[in-house]
């Protein structure tokens, strides 16, 4: 979903470091679906306000968002999970060249099948950016690792606009995935333990805070 105002606000974003811009170019050239710039910048700004000590990311790809989060938040540890070997290799290479190398740990494997290899919590932020039809399963598995004031961030909630389309206008191959993503969105919006908002930034960024955390005095 590309709007005039998105182009305007993206045009205001200052250039990133050479390495980060190289990764953005690599993603364009190789069709790697990293976070859209506007959504990435919005997420970083919210994280700067939240100041999580530990972030768990599901879906590393080439390490772009993991590196951006770690570089934006000096002192924050980022654990990130990726299942595709080619992506893991590229991510390791990029992480090794980043200024936040020692604070990013790549977990190799399918986030839904880590078993004993599940990262140890607690995490203050959970960022879900992997298979779009599996968001509910990621939530069920990883939400218990959140700290009391943990925040959940989910990207691609619009799925490039498809989530807002009439189901009959959605290409058949995407229908099940979109149905599951929408069911998850509705379920999380109505979750009694969470306050959620779907921000129309980038490809749709959902932010969910535990209700108990707002009662205690939220970190946001």
Which of 69, 73, 78, 81 is the binder for ligand SAM (CB under 6 A)? 81
Is 174 annotated as contributing to ligand binding?
A: no
User: What DSSP assignment string belongs to 141-201?
Assistant: HHGGGEEEEEEEEE--SSTTTGGGS-GGGS-HHHHHHHHHHHHHHHHHHT-TTEEEEEE-S
CA of residue 191 relative to chain centroid, distance: 20
**Which CB, 94 or 208, lies closer to ligand SAM?**
94
Shorter beta-carbon distance to ligand SAM: residue 135 or 194: 135
Pick the piece of the chain touching ligand SAM (CB under 6 A) from 43-51, 56-64, 168-176, 178-186: 56-64
Is 216 part of any known ligand binding site?
no
User: From CA 159, how far away is CA 37, in angstroms rounded?
Assistant: 15
Examine residue 44 and tell whether it contacts ligand SAM (CB under 6 A): no
Q: How far is the CB of 77 from ligand SAM (least distance, A)?
A: 16
CA 154, CA 186: separation in Å to the nearest integer?
13
Fill in the DSSP letter of residue 50.
H
The answer to whether the CB of 71 falls within 8 A of the CB of 100 is yes
Which residue in the set 47, 73, 79, 111 belongs to the binding site for ligand SAM (CB under 6 A)?
111
Indicate the annotated binding residues.
35, 65, 82, 110-111, 129, 155-156
- Interface residues with ligand SAM (CB under 6 A)? 33-35, 59, 61, 64-65, 81-84, 87, 110-112, 129-131, 134
């Amino acid at each position: 979903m590309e709007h005039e105002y998105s182009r305007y606000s993206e045009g205001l974003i200052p250039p990133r470091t050479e390495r980060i811009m190289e990764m953005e170019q690599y993603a364009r050239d190789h069709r790697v679906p990293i976070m859209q710039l506007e959504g990435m910048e919005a997420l970083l700004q919210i994280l700067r306000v939240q100041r999580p000590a530990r972030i768990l990311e599901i879906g590393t790809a080439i390490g772009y968002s993991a590196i951006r989060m770690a570089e934006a938040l000096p002192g924050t540890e980022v654990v990130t999970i990726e299942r595709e070997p080619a992506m893991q290799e590229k991510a390791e290479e990029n992480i090794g060249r980043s200024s936040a190398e020692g604070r990013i740990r790549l977990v190799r494997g399918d986030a839904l099948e880590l078993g004993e290899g599940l990262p140890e919590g607690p995490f203050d932020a959970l960022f879900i950016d992997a298979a779009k039809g599996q968001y509910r399963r990621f939530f069920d598995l990883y939400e218990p690792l959140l700290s009391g004031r943990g925040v959940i961030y989910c990207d691609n909630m619009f799925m490039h606009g498809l989530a807002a389309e009439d189901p009959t206008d959605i290409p058949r191959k995407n229908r099940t995935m979109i149905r599951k993503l929408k069911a998850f969105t509705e379920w999380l919006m109505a979750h009694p333990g969470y306050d959620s908002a779907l921000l129309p930034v980038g490809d749709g960024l959902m932010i969910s805070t535990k209700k108990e955390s707002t009662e205690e005095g939220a970190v946001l």
